Amino acid sequence: MSILILAEHEGGALRPATLNVVAAAKAIGGDITVLVAGHNAGDVATAAGQIDGVSKVLHCDDAAYEHELAENLSALVLSIAESYTHVMFAATAAGKNVMPRVAALLDVSAISDITDVVSDDTFIRPIYAGNAMATVKSTDKVKVIGVRTTSFEAGAESGGSAAIESLAAVAASDLVSFVGQELSKSDRPELTSADIVISGGRGMQSGDNFVMIDEIAAKLNAAVGASRAAVDAGFVPNEYQVGQTGKVVAPNLYIAVGISGAIQHLAGMKDSKVIVAINKDEEAPIFQVADYGLVADLFDALPELSKALDG
């Protein structure tokens, strides 16, 4: 078995998602090569070589890879993919953008969002927003896989000492160019990697009321999320969205405030270790997945909770 992983990085550092993909690759077993494509990303290549379990790093430095343009990244991965039995990506926005292209260009199926490894050719993945788990088997000669990062505990960042080899760039596409980005600014940890997440739903009634959530998040060093209903109502931007159509999170503690627990929301948080639900409707489906439920008006409960955390 020989496995190729496309590293994800930004601002000169590996994204934590890459460590989760390495963990999934270890579950398959075999030699693990990490491809670092970027511009002036030498530090990332060095960091990738130190990941426990990685046997080789391929580093391609070219301006074409400064932004994660799908055409350019998929062409680069394709240039080496056939030397591997498995090509793996994180199931992030960036990974999902590239992974199916590589599969199609190899004329093989792509296997999205795996949550478990049964064997080197058989994997488990959620379908229908996690309401069912499909076991799928691939007979393709290269298995192209997206890894749901929250399902594989990140391995150690150090302990490895892989050799770094440079890889030639592939001609850049002239069909696409990067214009700009508008990243949400937050002092809080990133949603998908936070230990604690506190999310608000339609019950919050307005975006302004999210300051109550922010206050508690600051005290717990938690990330702030929201249900699709809260996003659709315009309370908070879409990048806050936890759920099937937003982000999938699995923190140690997930606090759902004023969230009824629609199927699509549960799909994005039900793998959290401990779930707390605060809702005034005791019939709300969220209580069926909560470890601790508090039936209360959130406008009473949140200030009280904030105060209790000071003590």
Partner 1 sequence: MKILVGVKRVLDYNVKARVKADKSGIELANVKMSMNPFDEIAVEEALRIKEAGNAEEVIVVSIGPSQSQETIRTGLAMGADRGILIETDDLLEPLAIAKLFKHVVEKESPGLVVLGKQAIDGDNNQTAQMLSALTGMAQATFASKVEFDGDHLNVTREVDAGLETIRVKSPAIVSTDLRLNEPRYAKLPNIMKAKKKPLEIIPVADTGVDVSVGLSVVEVNEPPEREAGVIVSSVAELVEKLRNEAKVI
258-277 positions binding partner 1, by CB under 8 A? 263-264, 270, 273-276
Size of the site for partner 1 (CB under 8 A): 92
Contact region for partner 1 (CB under 8 A) — 50-58, 162-170, 200-208, 234-242?
A: 234-242
Sign of CA dihedral 215, 218, 222, 227: positive
Residue 86 CA from chain centroid, whole number: 20
249 part of the interface to partner 1, by CB under 8 A: no
- The strand pairing partners of 56, in sequence order, are 33, 163
Looking at the Cβ atoms of 59 and 101, the one nearer to partner 1 is 101
| Among residues 1, 82, 288, 297, the one that binds partner 1 under rule CB under 8 A | 288
Cα-based distances in Å from 135 to 17, 131, 148, 149: 23, 13, 15, 18
Dihedrals phi, psi of 99, to nearest 5 degrees: -55, -50
Looking at the Cβ atoms of 43 and 239, the one nearer to partner 1 is 239
Who contacts 13 (Cβ-Cβ below 8 Å, separation ≥6)? 43, 44, 47
Sign of CA dihedral 38, 44, 46, 47: negative
Nearest approach, Cβ of 74 to partner 1 (angstroms)?
7
Looking at the Cβ atoms of 3 and 69, the one nearer to partner 1 is 69
Q: Which of residues 55-84 bind partner 1 (CB under 8 A)?
A: 67, 69-71, 74
Q: Which of residues 13-52 bind partner 1 (CB under 8 A)?
A: none
Q: Which of residues 90-149 bind partner 1 (CB under 8 A)?
A: 92-94, 96-105, 107-113, 122, 126-140
Q: Backbone dihedral region of 243: left (phi > 0), alpha (psi from -120 to 50 degrees) or beta?
A: left
Looking at residue 130, what DSSP letter applies?
G
| Among residues 174, 187, 208, 283, the one that binds partner 1 under rule CB under 8 A | 174
State the Cα angle at 18 between 248 and 223, rounded to 5°. Answer: 40
171 part of the interface to partner 1, by CB under 8 A: no
Nearest approach, Cβ of 174 to partner 1 (angstroms)?
8
